[in-house]
Each structure stands twice: as structure tokens, then as C-alpha cells.
Amino acid sequence: MTAQTITITQPDDWHVHLRDGDMLNQVAEYTARQFGRAIIMPNLAPPVTTTALASAYRDRILAATSDYPDFQPLMTAYLTDSIAPEELVKGHEQGVFTAAKLYPANATTNSSFGVSDMKGIYPVLEAMQEIGMPLLVHGEVVDSEIDIFDREAVFIETIMAPLLKDMPELKVVFEHITTKDAADFVASQGDNIAATITAHHLQINRNDMLVGGIKPHLYCLPVAKRELHRLALRKAATSGSKKFFLGTDTAPHAIGAKESACGCAGIFSAPHAIEVYTQVFEEDGALDQLEKFASLNGPAFYDLPVNQKQISLVKESQQVPATIGEGDLTISPYQAGEILAWRLV
């Protein structure tokens, strides 16, 4: 008997952290070997705030992925309190910036330059609304009084809903949603609002991270929530709704930075991302919806053509390596040492 195989349009990853320097060179090919395009997050230190910085970063990514010459990094601008609307419009017109990223100040890794006052960047958001440039949002409030597990739900109420009321035509991607609240909110909005969902948030809940010993490699932001939220995310991803698409939020940190008294947030899921998503869709009896989520809904939202190539996955088990990379940059990948059901051909 030959193993089951599925073939789909090549997917894209609509949310990726590739880092820079040696780490970039170590991790970038894992994304480029699976995905046609990737939305590149701008949270470098210092962040990618200008067209010139983004253009130079894109060149470094292209150099790091030269074995995959068809791979296209799509760049994003990091919004700050002081970014000028003209800079964004210029970068978008020149084909450098595909989108702009909103980090509430200090919400996640390298986000201290993020936005502290939404109203302060309204001129920027109005310009984006005007030219149809998507706003990508890390949707968590950062107020110290708000419980970490409630930060996404409170963001919807206090920031996202008022923003969409003021900017009804703005295209917004609610990135890496982790709650039923966010899935329901996105589903209830117009076609200009969509969301990415990570592979890990479809598989893990907060017990996986905290029960039986703390698992630092499953710590990320937004943090995994309770089981009812995981189930709601699976329902949204596999529903066939064009509002939900693939974004791994792969975010590599060296093992030492994760296994620490103050461990960094981030899960490195790039090496086997498409296999993990495929497994999730198969488990939910929704393999027929995988191509929409992974390869069609994203380009439709971003007004880009779908990829010409196809990829195939075969139902053959494989073991995720215990570690990836070398020396100081050794990383523990998502599901290190575990067995996956599918393999990218």
C-alpha cells in the first residue's frame, strides 16, 4: 500500500521572525524551503522603522535564502509613536513595505519602541487606510493590572473595537489569535478584518506549558490559554472561512535564553510548520480545508496572486530533531524529539 499523499498550492507564512546576522543565516532556510512568501516581522534591535532599513534587511534575507531563489520575503514597518505617514506611504509605493506592524509598547520581544498612544498614530493609520496597506496587530494590552491570560480579550474591547469604529475601511490582521474571544470577534467583522493562527496555538493549551513541570520551550506571547480557546481556534482555522490564515509566529531563541531564570518568549516552529498544520487538519477531518487556510486565504486578503508551485505531503512519520543549529545559537525546535505524522516531500 502506498502512503497517503496530499498536494496543495504552495503555502505562505503570514507571520515570521527571521532575526538577523548568524541567527538569520541559521533559521531562514527552514521557512524558505516550505513557503513561497513570508511576512517578515520587524522587531529587530533596533526595529525596522524606515524604508531604507527594511530594504537592507530584505537583501540580507535574500542572501540567507539564496538556495531558494523563488522565496519572497514581504517586509513590514515597525510602527512607533513618531513614525511619519510619508515614510510608510513611500515604502509602500516603492514596493518595500507590504504592511505595518503595531506592537503596543513592551508587549513582546524587542517591542520597547512600540506604540504607547493609539490616537497619536491616527494620521499614520488614516494614510494606511487610504492606500489599502494592512495593519498587523499584536493584540494584547500591556497594563500591569491586567492578568496575562486576559490581555487579548481586554485588547479587543479597549483598543481593537474602538479603532475599527474610527477606521472602518482599514485592513487589519489580528495576529496570532489565542482566544475564542478573538476568533469570534474576527468572524463577526467585515471582510477587511482577518487573523493569523499559529500551529502551536492549535496544539497546546496552558496545561501543556505548566503541568508536570514548566516547559520553557512552550512559552510564547500571547501565552497559550485554556482548552476551550484552543478548540475555538481549531474550529476557526478548519472552518474554511477566508478570514483565517496561516502565520506560524516562529520566533527562535537560543536554548540558553529559553532555559533561564527569566526565559524569553517565543517558539521556533519553522522546521516542520506545514507538517504540524497538516496533522491538525487531518485530526479534525478537515484536510480538504488545509489549502484555503495555508495557501489561498492569505493572498486573497493581501491582494496578491496565489503561488504557482505546488507542494506535496506524504503520511509518513518522522522525528523532530532534539536540537537545531550550532554552538551558542543551538535552538530547541517546537516538538523536539516528537514524532510527526506527515512529511513534506
Q: Which does residue 220 touch among Zn ion, ligand OTD, none (CB within 5 to 8 A, set by kind)? A: ligand OTD
Question: Given candidates 87, 152, 181, 249, which one binds ligand OTD under the rule CB under 6 A?
Answer: 249
Is 19 a residue that touches Zn ion (CB under 5 A)?
no
H-helix or E-strand spanning residue 283: helix 273-283
* Residues annotated catalytic, as ranges: 249
Angle at 142 between CA 136 and CA 143, to 5 degrees: 145
State the nearest-atom distance from the C-beta of 56 to Zn ion, in Å: 21
Task: Tell me the Cα Rg of the chain.
Answer: 19
Question: Given candidates 11, 12, 17, 102, which one binds ligand OTD under the rule CB under 6 A?
Answer: 17
Task: Supply 67's cell numbers.
Answer: 538556495
CB atoms within 10 A of CB 102: 23
Question: Given candidates 26, 108, 192, 278, which one binds ligand OTD under the rule CB under 6 A?
Answer: 108
State the nearest-atom distance from the C-beta of 287 to Zn ion, in Å: 27
Positions in 210-239 near ligand OTD (CB under 6 A): 220-221
Distances (CA, A) of 255 to 111, 117, 203, 322, 326: 21, 35, 22, 11, 11
Is 249 a residue that touches Zn ion (CB under 5 A)?
yes
Site string for ligand OTD, 125-154 (x = CB under 6 A): -------------x----------------
Question: Given candidates 19, 37, 138, 272, which one binds Zn ion under the rule CB under 5 A?
Answer: 138
Task: Supply 60's cell numbers.
Answer: 540580507
Alpha carbon distance 111, 292 (integer Å): 31
Tracing cell 505524522 back to the chain, one arrives at 341
For the sheet containing 135-137, what is the strand order?
13-16, 37-40, 72-78, 97-102, 135-137, 172-174, 193-197, 244-246
Positions in 278-337 near ligand OTD (CB under 6 A): none
- 188's CB contacts (< 8 A; 6+ apart) are none
Size of the site for ligand OTD (CB under 6 A): 12
Q: How far is CA 234 from the centre of its chain?
A: 16
Task: Specify burial of residue 20 (Cβ count, 10 A radius: 0-12, 13-18, 19+).
Answer: middle
Question: Given candidates 195, 251, 286, 290, which one binds ligand OTD under the rule CB under 6 A?
Answer: 251
State the nearest-atom distance from the C-beta of 4 to ligand OTD, in Å: 33
Between 176 and 292, CB nearer to ligand OTD: 176
Q: Which stretch binds Zn ion (CB under 5 A): 61-69, 113-121, 207-215, 243-251?
A: 243-251
Between 108 and 205, CB nearer to Zn ion: 108
Between 17 and 243, CB nearer to ligand OTD: 17
Q: Which of 75, 88, 81 is nearest to 42 (CA)?
A: 75
Is 43 a residue that touches ligand OTD (CB under 6 A)?
yes
Question: Given candidates 109, 196, 295, 335, which one binds ligand OTD under the rule CB under 6 A?
Answer: 109
Is 266 a residue that touches ligand OTD (CB under 6 A)?
yes
H-helix or E-strand spanning residue 199: helix 199-203
Residues that bind ligand OTD (CB under 6 A): 17, 43, 108-109, 138, 176, 220-221, 249, 251, 265-266
The residue ranges that bind Zn ion (CB under 5 A) are 108, 138, 249
